[in-house]
Structure 1
Amino acid sequence: MADIAGRPADRAHGRPGTDVFGDRPSSTRHPLVAAAMVLPLAVLLAVVFGGWDAVVTQASSVAGMLGR
């Protein structure tokens, strides 16, 4: 029985599917690649919502305690 969508039938028969770009999904991702994907958004959110000031304040507090 043929499936019109294709993907469910492929996965049902044990063949791995493909991602949006037609490549086979990788089982692992290098940590630096993951960091490069996440860090720009994290920095943007920290700046937009004022989190950057909180990070600087906490870091200076920790530095002050370590300096004593």
Structure 2
Amino acid sequence: MAYTAERAVIRARGRRILDTVGVRESGTRHPLVAAVMVLPFAVLLTVVFGGWEAVVTQASSVAGMLGR
């Protein structure tokens, strides 16, 4: 029992510290916020590795298969 009580105290302290810092332990992020966080990195990777040509090639292939 004492071991379980110690763990509960440690967890409670950890939660208080996370709340003070402003970090949520198990929260969800709005999808638009996630997109805003990821898009700059995605654009950078697209430019650096020439991904734009690959996207255009794949889109034209799909359009060709659909008969357009």
Higher helix proportion (structure 1 or 2):
2
Tell me what 1:12 maps to.
Answer: 10
Aligned ranges 1:1-68 → 2 under 5 Å: 12-15=10-13, 16=15, 17-18=17-18, 22-25=21-24, 27-67=27-67
User: By how many angstroms is 1:43 displaced?
Assistant: 1.2
How many residues are aligned here?
A: 57
Q: Output the amino acid matched with 1:62.
A: V
Query: Judging changes above 3 Å, is the alpha-carbon distance between structure 1 residues 60 and 13 closer, same or farther for their aligned structure 2 residues?
Result: closer
Residue 30 of structure 1 aligns with an amino acid whose one-letter code is H
TM-score normalized by structure 2? 0.66
3-state DSSP class of the match of 1:14? helix
Structure 1's 12 and 59: CA in aligned 2 closer, same or farther, altered over 3 A? same
The alignment yields a C-alpha RMSD, in angstroms, of 2.5
Q: Which runs of 5+ in 2 are unaligned?
A: 1-8
